[in-house]
Structures are given as C-alpha cells and as structure tokens.
Structure 1
Amino acid sequence: MRLGTIDRLYQSNDYAATLTALPTLLLDARVTAETASDADRPAAYALLARSRHLTGNLLIQLRAGDLAQIALTEALDAAHRAGDRVVGATVIQGMCWLLMRQGRLAEATELAISTADQIEPQFRRAAPAELSAWGWLLMGAAAAYARDNQPDTAAEVVDAAHAAAVRIGERRPESGHLMMVGGFDTHRVQMQRAENAAVADDPDRVLDLARLVPPGPTPVGSSWQRHRLDVAWAYAQQRRYPEATNTLVELREYAPAWLRQQRYARDIVQSITERRRRAMSAELADLASLVGCTT
C-alpha cells in the first residue's frame, strides 16, 4: 500500500487500518532508501522520512509518546539524509505537537520558532509546500504560546501564518506531499484563532470565529475535528447543552476512533453531565461511555 493511501486512512481516522499497513510500508521504505543509487537516494530517504513522520503522528494520537518520539527522531534523520527542508520542517512540527502533549510548552515554542526562522520563505518565489511547512510551524508555536499564557504573542504568530495561507491560496499546491502539507490554508488559520480563544476561556469569540470555518471536514481531518471540540466546549460554557451534545454526536458519527482518544472531549462531556438539570439523554450516555467519562 502506498504512503498516500495510508495517509488518507489516517486522515479519515481509520487508525486500525493505518496501524496495520504501516509496518510493511516502513520496511519497504527503509530497504529502498538503503539500497538506492546516488541519484535516487534523496527521494528514497524523503519517502522514508514521511513514512516515519506519519507513524509518529499516529502514535501521538494513540498516546504512545515514547514510541512517537523514536519515530519522529528517525524521521528527522531520514529528512536530513534526503536534504529536504520541507519534509524536515513538517517532522519538526510533529515534534512540537508531541512536546505540547507532554506539557513542555516553552520547548515547543522554541523549537517551532527557531525552525521557522531557519526556513522562512521568500513569499514572492516560495513554493506552496515551503509556505505550508512554515505556516504549520507557526500554528504549533501559536498553540503553545496560547497555552503558556502569552495570547498577544500567539496572535502575532497567527497573523504571520495567515499571510502565508493567503499566498498559498493564490497558487496551486504541488502534489506528492502528505495531506497535512496541502491542508494548510486560511480556514486552518481561522481554526487556530478559535482554539486560542478557547484556551483564553472566551466562548463567545470561539463561536464568532467558528462561523467563518467550513461546516464540513477539511483535508486534515484532525484539525477540523479539534476545532469542533472547541465549538462544543463553547456551547457547554454558555450552558447551551443540546447544541454542545449535538456537536459531539456529529463527531462521534464521523470520527469515533479519534474522539475516543480525546481527553478534551471527556472533559466537555463531564462538564455537561455535571451541570445538566434534566435526566441524561441516551445520546449523552453513549458519548460518556465512548470517551470514558464518569457520570
């Protein structure tokens, strides 16, 4: 199975199929890289790096942090062997995501910003993939800054990422990269603004910003799904529990495997069950069971 096919499985939240397919891909990619001719070696190592990067992302979703660290470190080594700065930068973004999951916010921002500074593109001539890799790094930095109680810095970084997204929107992205690279656009920037508002405990702003985000899934499914959790959280904070529950039910129907792994979802469901005045509905009970919420 090709990397692009497995990437689509991952983006569609089919973690079981992704986990089943990855070992063969990783073995084939490693053998190909190690036996490639001089001319073919950069492309072969780039493929190996992207395969390991996808593995690392999956392991982060499954909360296997130690294994994800190994996969991402090996992905970065392969990217260096390939001499591919775009692939290397996207791997770094995965490392920043892992650092955030571990609560190491200062390290995440330092890694994201220092890498972004190293690869900062010239807007007039940069390829969409270069702008996208830079933008994703800024998104990671903004998320960490917001959680580290630096909202003004987070907003500045998001504004810079927005400029890259606008530039990408004026051009046709090249094919061949993981969907994550092609999934950076102005809508993704808007989701980040909403996420920062949720971190700042501002549900009104979350819902205002969410109105500018497409109602359906975007190319990077996990980003849109995470955004919908912010929307559910905002509804719950406003005590609009039916809307919050409906938003979560939509996510359960679309991405149950992903939702099951989200502590954020569990916290939202917990808040709804504790504050509700009516008897628990069957839908809410099903959600509580899925996310492991105590009632």
Structure 2
Amino acid sequence: MAAAPQPPMRSKSDLHQAIRTTRRAVLVVNTRARRGRRYHAAILARLRADGWNLVADLGVDRPGGLADTIAAAVDHRPDVLIAAGGDGTISEAARQLAHRDIALGLLPLGTTNNFARTLTVPLTVAGALDTLVHGVVADVDLGHVNGRVFTNMVSLGVSARVAEHAPHRLKRILGRAAYPLTAAAILPRHHPFRARLTTDDGRTVSAHTHQLNIANGGFHAGNPITADASPDDRLLTTWPLGGPRRTSLVAAIAGQVAHGRRRTQASHPFLTTDALTLHTDPPQALDIDGELHGSTPARITLSANALRVLVPVGFPDT
C-alpha cells in the first residue's frame, strides 16, 4: 500500500496561527526518562488546563518502543507533537518530523537536555509548558550522519563508551553526575584513536584524541560549547577534546566547562563546516544524540531549516 501523501507545508506564521487557534496536539511521554514517569499525570493535567486539544496521549515504557510510538503520533497529523523525555526521545521525534508540517514541542525530562538548552527552552516542567503556550514556531537545522538524523551531537571515543555503559538506574538517581562517574571508570582503560576530517571545500584536519565531537547545537554534556554555536547557523562545529594523553582530555573538559560561554566558533580548536567526511583508526562507534548507531567511516552533513519547533519568544530564528 502506498504511503499517504503529506499535506503541503504551511508558512511558519500560518502554522503558528493554527496552533494558537485549535491547539491540536499529540503528547508522547517517555516514562523511561529520568522524570517521565513522575511527571506524566501532571503534564497531562496542565495541558488540558491550558486548553490543548489532545488527540492522543501516548506513553513509552519499554526499550525499543519509542520509534513506533512516535510514528503513531505522527499519523494523527497534529499541529504540534509534544515530546516529553531526554535527548534520545527528542532526537527520534525530530527524525520523524523532519520536513513535515508539524511543530515539535519540547518537554525536557532527560539527564543533559542538550537540545532544549540550545533552543533556550526552560528545563523546568512548568517553564517548558509555558513555552508551549506562549512560544513561537521556528525553523532549525538538523544534522545527518550516514543517513541518520541528529538534532544536537555526534561524538566518538569515551562518550560512546559512556553511552553504552552508563547504568540507566544511575542516571535516574544522579542525573548529569552519572556521566562523569561512568567516564572516570572507563578512561583508565581507554585508548586514543586517530581521526581525519575532510570538509567539502577541501580542508583536512587530523587529530589524535580520546574524544571527538561534531555538534549541530550549542551544548555538550549540559555545558555550552561556544558563545555563538546554534542549531540555526547552517554550521556543524567539530573539535577534539584534548590529545592522546588521558590528562589532556580531563583538562579539555574542565576548560570547556569554565570557558565555553566565552569562546567562539572561530577560535582554536574548532572547525566549522556544513559537510564533512570522517575516517578513524581504529574504527569508532558513533554516539548520536546519546544513542549508539553504527561506526566510522562517516559522512556528516547539515539540512538547513529542516525542523519546526516551538521556542521561547526571542529565540534568534534565521
């Protein structure tokens, strides 16, 4: 059976007006996220009190059920798909909403909430719900790695090992602190790798490191990358965190935490581009928005204005 044709894309202003007029939405809550199960009922009550026309309330409580649940939500063709969960939930929702006439509403309930931070969406449930009511529709960029969509980050090295081994229960209890604790246990046995990045305009950069990041957004591990990185600047920001010595990784992380808000994409060690090819020796697993998918070599590109989102008034939409 042929897939149902997608409706034509409305302008941002027309979609915004439809949202404000009908408030037709679907709610998807990942109850496996750190705060999902705790806040599901309260979120539902607040949305109804705010006058949202919820055509479906869908929960995800088992591994592997997220993609099918979001696909079911999209089939309702709401004006807004409200995704409540962590970066993995938001990333899957963005993948399925790319180039569709549906806005993504974020309720960040995860551990680091990088994409919400870079969109300036409040991290409190009440603040994020206020954004759904008072926010505006914006278009932002999405990344693609080996054909898979990402919202915020592709990384490889220690972070991929952390994504694989950080206990879900520990993340529920400790939040962001679970990641450095897991990294501290992994780092003594981790070996550096060599990476070669080639941009489409002919630049080549090599690195020998324990960690390499390629960001579409402005935050990594809940901390700002630079003062000017944005998911709406048509740029991927790439950088190694330190060199081959383990101590250099620790120092680079500390430097990013301390100075991220004062650095710019033009400063060392950042490389900015809209498309690149990545090779590593040895091959490395790819951590895509906190989930492991595939390995190097990788082709990484950017799709401009590919996703519609509800953001606070004042977000710089270009």
Same fold at TM > 0.5: no
Q: Which has the higher strand share?
A: 2
What TM-score results when the alignment is normalised by the length of structure 2?
Answer: 0.29
Using the size of structure 1 for normalisation, the TM-score is 0.30
Report which of the two has the higher share of helix: 1
